[in-house]
Structures are given as structure tokens and as C-alpha cells.
């Protein structure tokens, strides 16, 4: 049986463990990391079907890291779910790619986010 692979990127160990247990309970293969450097490493070594990405990472904002991910691995466009337990609304300049963005954000308890067009001249930030 070929199981779907999920990568969890979140700096909070409790959130990672909770998501791991829930997804494994539904027979997903799960890898989780707590920082962007580890995420870049495992993304370069392994193929994933879905990425769960925290919006509020200490090293870099989740939306900027999202752009770095889909720029480096375009097949993940539409397969990255941005998440946050933070009740604060996103910053006024969110998302990072406002010029060509097709994102829609509804400031409700859950946000529905649609894929963005990554500008061709955009370069990923150095982690």
C-alpha cells in the first residue's frame, strides 16, 4: 500500500506531536521538523504529497518560506497548507507576494488560502 507523505513544519513540539498522531491515525506517513533549515534538507531528500507549514516560525515568516518552497519545488504549489494557532490576524503586508497574488484570506477562525503565482524574478531568502 502506497501511503501519502506529509511534512509538518512547526517550531512547537506539542503541535508537531499532535498533528503526527492524528495523521498517522489516518495512515499517513509523517515527517516533522521544527525549523526551516531541517525542512529544506528533508524536502531536498524526500518527496512529499502535502506540507503543513506554520505561519509564525522564528527563523522566517511562514508565507515567505512558502514562496521559497514552491520556487524550489514547484510541484508543491497547491499542496502547502499554511497554519497558525496565533489568534492575531496576518500583518498588513501579508502575503509576501502582493504584486501577483491570487490569495484570498478570510479573517475567521480558519483561513481559506488559494495558491499564488510566484513572480519569475523572486529569489528564496537565505535561511
Residue-wise pLDDT tens digits, 33-76 = 999 999 999 999 999 999 999 988 888 888 899 999 999 999 99
Contact (Cβ atoms closer than 8 angstroms) between residue 57 and residue 14 = no
Nearest to 87 by CA among 55, 113, 41, 115: 55
d(CA 126, CA 68): 9
Q: Which of 1-10, 42-51, 89-98 has the highest mean pLDDT?
A: 42-51
Domain ranges, ordered by start, for the chain:
5-100
CATH 3.40.50.2300 for domain 5-100, yes or no, is yes
Check residue 115 and give its pLDDT. Answer: 46
Tell me the mean pLDDT in the region 99-125.
48
Nearest CA-CA partner of 34 in 16, 46, 21: 16
For the entire predicted model, the pTM comes to 0.70
Amino acid at each position: 500500500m502506497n501511503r501519502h507523505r506529509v511534512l509538518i513544519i512547526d517550531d512547537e513540539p506539542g503541535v508537531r506531536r499532535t498533528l503526527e498522531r492524528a495523521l498517522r491515525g489516518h495512515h499517513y506517513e509523517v515527517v516533522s521538523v521544527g525549523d526551516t533549515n531541517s525542512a529544506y534538507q528533508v524536502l531536498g531528500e524526500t518527496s512529499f504529497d502535502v506540507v503543513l507549514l506554520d505561519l509564525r516560525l522564528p527563523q522566517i515568516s511562514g508565507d515567505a518560506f512558502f514562496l521559497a518552497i514552491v520556487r524550489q519545488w514547484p510541484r508543491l504549489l497547491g499542496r502547502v497548507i499554511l497554519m497558525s494557532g496565533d489568534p492575531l490576524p496576518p500583518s498588513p503586508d501579508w502575503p509576501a507576494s502582493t504584486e501577483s497574488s491570487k490569495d484570498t484570506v478570510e479573517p475567521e477562525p480558519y483561513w481559506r488560502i488559494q495558491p499564488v503565482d510566484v513572480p519569475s524574478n523572486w529569489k528564496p531568502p537565505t535561511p
